[in-house]
Structure 1
Amino acid sequence: MTATMIRRDPMVVTWLVAVAVSGFGDVVWTVALAWTAAHALSPTVAGLVLGIEMLPQAALVLVGGVIADRWDPRRVLVAGEVTRAAVLVAGALAWKGGYDGAPTLFLVSLSFGIAAGLTIPSGMALVRQVVHPDDFGTVVGWNQVSGRVMRLLGAPAGGVLVAQSYAGSVAGGGPVLAMLVDAATFAVVAVVLVAVVRTRYPAPRAEHARWRDSFTDGLAYLRRSPTARVFVVGLTALNVFVTPVVALGLALRVEGSGWGAHWFGICDGALAAGAIVGSLAAIRWQPTRAAGSGFRVLVLQGVGLAAVGVPALPVVLAGMLTVGVTAGMASVWLSGAFLKAINPEYTGRVSSVTSLGDMTLMPLSVPVLGAFSGATSVLTATATFGLAMSVLCLVLATRPEIAGLVQRYASPKV
C-alpha cells in the first residue's frame, strides 16, 4: 500500500485524524495546567503538580507492555481514553465545586500518569495489528506530522482559553474549559476505536499463566534477539544527547549571547518546522535500508547539535533546523523499521523498554549538560554531546543487525 492508498483507507485516516484531535486537546490541557499551576500555586507545589505524572508512567510502563501483549490493545486504549476523559470531567466538576487548588490538579496529573503508563505500549501494538508492515513508516510519519502541527496549534489555543477563563470572559474559570476540551478529544478517540478501528493483522498473544512469566519472557526475547537489543539500546540512547541540547543548551546559548527570549522561540520553531518537513520527506522517500539510513541521517544530527552552542545566531538557527529535519526523517524510518524487526508477539514489551529508557535517562541527562556547560562552556558541552551522538549513530548504522534488515524487512518506496 502506497502513501496515496493510505490516504484512501477510511479506517486508517479516521484513526489518524482522531489521534491528531486528541493531540490538540493534550496540548491545550498541558498549557492550561502549566499556567494554572504557576499562577495559583507556589513554585515548589507547581513543580510537583507538573512533574508527578512522569513517576507512575515510569513505574508502570513495563506493566503496560505486558498488558499490550496479553490483551487486545484496542480495548486497552479504549479503557485508557475513557478513563482520562472521566478524570478530566471529574476534575472540572471539582474545580467548579470549589476544590480549585493543588489537590485537584495533583490528582488529575497522577491519574494521567497511571493511565499513560498502562496504555502507551498498546499504541505501538495497535499499529502493528491495524497497518500492513510495508506501511508502518507511512502511518507513523503522518501521525508524527499531525502531532507536531497540533502542538503548534494547541499551545496558543490553550493559552487563550486559560487567559480568558481567568479574565472571566469564558464560563468555568481557571482550567475548567481546557479540561473539558481535552476530555472531549479523548472521547473522540474512544468512539473511533470502538466504532471504526478493526484488527487486520492479529498478533499472537502472550498466554503465560502468570504475568511475571510474560515479563521475564520479554526480557528473554531481548537477550536472544540481537536485532531487538540493538534497536532498544540505540533508540533509548538517542534522546539522551538530543533533548538536553535543544532544551537547556539552546536556552543557555541564547541567554548567554543576549539575543533575547524571542530568538529562543524562533530557534525552537525552526526545530519544529524542520521536523515536519523531515517527516514529510521521509514519508515520500522510504529507503529499503530504512534502519541504516535512519541512523546515518542522525550522524548529521550530531553536527546540528554541536552547532547549537556556537555564539552566532545564523549557525544556531541552521543547527536547530538540521536537528529538526534529521529527527523528522529518522523517526519515520526507524519507527517503521523497529515495528518490522520486532516479533509481533513482543511489540508491547519491547516498546515499553524503550519508553522506560526515555522516561528515566532524559531527566538525568539534562542536568549533566548543565553541569558540563558550567564547568567548561556551552559550545564545549553541545559539541561533546553532538560528537557522541554522531559516533553512536555511525556505530549503530554499521552494525550487522541493522545493515542486514534489508533482506528480511525490505519496504518499498512510497
Structure 2
Amino acid sequence: MIGDNVFYIALSWAAVRSGTPSQAGLVMAVSAVPRALLMLGGGVVADRFGPRRVVIGSDAVRCAAVLTVAALLFVAHPGLWLLALLAVVFGIVDAVFMPAVGALPARVTGRDQLARVQGMRGLAVRFANVVGAPLGGLGVALGGSATAFALAGLLIAVSVPLLISVRMRETPQAGGANTADTADTADTANTADTADTAPAPVEAVGPPGDADGAPARGDASGPHARVPDAEDGAPAVPERPATAWRDLRDGLRYIRGHRVLAPLIVTIALGDLGFVGPLNVGLALLADRRGWGASGMGLVVAAFGAGAGAAALLLAWRGTLPRAGSAGAAALLGGSVAIGALAQVPGVGAAVGVALAIGLLAGLSGALCGALLQTQSDPAYLGRVTAVAGIVSLGLAPLSMPLTAAAIGWWGTGPVFAGSAVVCGLGGVVALAVRDLRRAELPR
C-alpha cells in the first residue's frame, strides 16, 4: 500500500510535467476504466486459481511494470504514452489483484478473526496514506519521477516475498461440496452457503441453480466440480467442463440468492457512490470557495483520516461489535448527515470537527460492512463477492469525481453535498429495511 501511494505521486507528477493539466487528469483516471470493466473477471480468476497465487503473480507484474518504467525514465523521456500505458496496466492488474486480496483473509485465519483482520487492514491503509505521500514527494524531490517510480517498485518488490511467506489454511467443507487441495490450498472450491442459500442437492444434471436462482450444492462451477452419479445402473452423464463464464454466472447467482450479501453489496455501493465525490474533489472545491487554503484542507483531510483510523483501531482491538448489521447502518446514516453538514460550516475548526465525525462514522460503517462481507461469504465465492462489491467503489466511484466537480460548478457545494448525503444515507436505509442484514452478527 505504501508503494501504491508512492506510485500515484510519481505518476501524477510525471503526467503534469509531460503534458497539459487535462492530459494529466486523463492519465490519472485511465486506470479506473479497465478496473471497472475487468473486476468481475478478476473475481473469477481469484476463485478458480486461488487468491494466494493470484496475489503473488499480480504483485510481481506490478513490480516489474513500475521498475521498467523507472528504468526507461532514467535513460529517456518517452512522454505521456508510456505513463498512460503504465496506468492501464495497473488498472488491469488491479482488477485481478483486488478481488484476490479480498478473498485471502478467509484462507489465512478463522471466521472469528476476520473482523479483526478487517480493522488491521484499515489501519494499514491509513498508515500507508500518511507515510506514502511524503515518501513519494521525497523521491520526486531527490531525483524526479524516475527516482519516485524506482522507490515505488522497490517497496512493491519487498511485498512479494512477504506474500510468498503466507501459508493458507485448509478450506472448510460446506454442504459436502469439493474443497481445494491443502498442500498449496489450490483455492478452487465452489461451495454454497448452506445456512442461507443452498437448496436441496440437485437430482439431475442440468444448468446450475434452482428456480430462485440460488446456486445448488451440486453445482459444477469450478475445476474440481462434479455432477451427481447416475442412479439405477444408468451410465454416468459426462461432466460439463467448467468455464470462466459459468463461474461468473454461478457467483452472481450466489450473491443474488443470499439474504445478507445481496442487500449488503447494495448498501456498500450506495455508501461509496455518495462518499467518494464529496470527500475527494468536492472537498478541494469547498476549501477553495471557503478560503481555507491548502493548509486548511490538509487539516480537514487529516481529521477524516484520524477518525477512520480510530474506527479501524476499534474493530482491530475488539474483534467484533454487537448487532453489527444495525450498527453499520446507523453509522452510515450518521456519516451521511455529517457529509451534508460539511458544506454548511463556515470555518476550518468546525470543518475539522465534522470531518472527524465523518471519518469515524464512515470508517466504522465501512469496516463493519467489510467484516460482514468476509464472514457471510462462502470462501469459495469470496473472490467473486469481493469483485462485485468493489466494482463500484474501486471502478465506478472514481469516475464520478469529474461529475461531482461539474455539478458543483453548476449548483454549488451545498446542494451537491446534500445530494451525495442522500445517496449515502440510502445505503443505511437499505441495511435497516432488510431484516436479515439488520440482524446480521459477526462471529465471536
CA change 1:263–1:101 in 2 (3 A) is same
Number of the residue aligned with 1:199: 168
User: Cα distance, 1:391 vs. partner?
Assistant: 4.4
CA change 1:88–1:378 in 2 (3 A) is closer
Q: How many residues are treated as equivalent by the alignment?
A: 378
Number of the residue aligned with 1:249: 282
Task: Could you tell me which runs of 5 or more consecutive residues in structure 1 were left unpaired when the two chains were aligned.
Answer: 1-22, 166-173
CA distance in 1, matches of 2:294, 2:106: 42
8 Å CA contact 1:36–1:175 kept in 2: the answer is yes
Of stretches 154-163 and 368-377 in structure 1, the one that deviates more from structure 2 is 368-377
CA distance in 1, matches of 2:28, 2:424: 29
Task: Could you tell me which runs of 5 or more consecutive residues in structure 2 were left unpaired when the two chains were aligned.
Answer: 173-178, 180-188, 190-221, 224-240
CA change 1:183–1:360 in 2 (3 A) is closer
Of stretches 30-39 and 373-382 in structure 1, the one that deviates more from structure 2 is 373-382
User: Cα distance, 1:197 vs. partner?
Assistant: 0.7
Instruction: Find the partner of 1:179 among 123, 126, 149.
Output: 149
> Which digits, 9 at most, give the CA deviation of each residue in 1:76-131, with x for residues without a partner?
11111111111122112222232442232222222111111122111111111002
Match status 1:70 vs 2:48: yes
Match status 1:287 vs 2:265: no
> Which digits, 9 at most, give the CA deviation of each residue in 1:254-296, with x for residues without a partner?
2222222221111111111111112112323421322221121
Match status 1:132 vs 2:110: yes
Match status 1:24 vs 2:2: yes
The code of the aligned residue for 2:424 comes to: M
Number of the residue aligned with 2:89: 111
Match status 1:327 vs 2:305: no
User: Cα distance, 1:319 vs. partner?
Assistant: 1.6
> Which digits, 9 at most, give the CA deviation of each residue in 1:285-314, with x for residues without a partner?
421322221121111101210111114223
Q: Runs of 4+ in structure 1 displaced over 6 angstroms?
A: none
User: Cα distance, 1:372 vs. partner?
Assistant: 4.6
TM-score, normalised by the number of residues in structure 2: 0.80
Instruction: Find the partner of 2:294 among 247, 258, 261.
Output: 261
User: Cα distance, 1:397 vs. partner?
Assistant: 2.7
The code of the aligned residue for 1:156 comes to: P
Number of the residue aligned with 1:379: 414
User: Cα distance, 1:41 vs. partner?
Assistant: 1.9
Match status 1:348 vs 2:370: no
The code of the aligned residue for 2:68 comes to: A
8 Å CA contact 1:138–1:283 kept in 2: the answer is yes
Number of the residue aligned with 1:394: 429
The code of the aligned residue for 1:178 comes to: A
CA change 1:36–1:364 in 2 (3 A) is closer
Matched residue SS, 1:175: helix
8 Å CA contact 1:95–1:104 kept in 2: the answer is no
Number of the residue aligned with 1:53: 31
CA distance in 2, matches of 1:353, 1:362: 13
CA distance in 1, matches of 2:155, 2:242: 36
The code of the aligned residue for 1:66 comes to: V
Instruction: Find the partner of 1:210 among 230, 239, 243.
Output: 243
The code of the aligned residue for 1:305 comes to: I
8 Å CA contact 1:56–1:117 kept in 2: the answer is yes
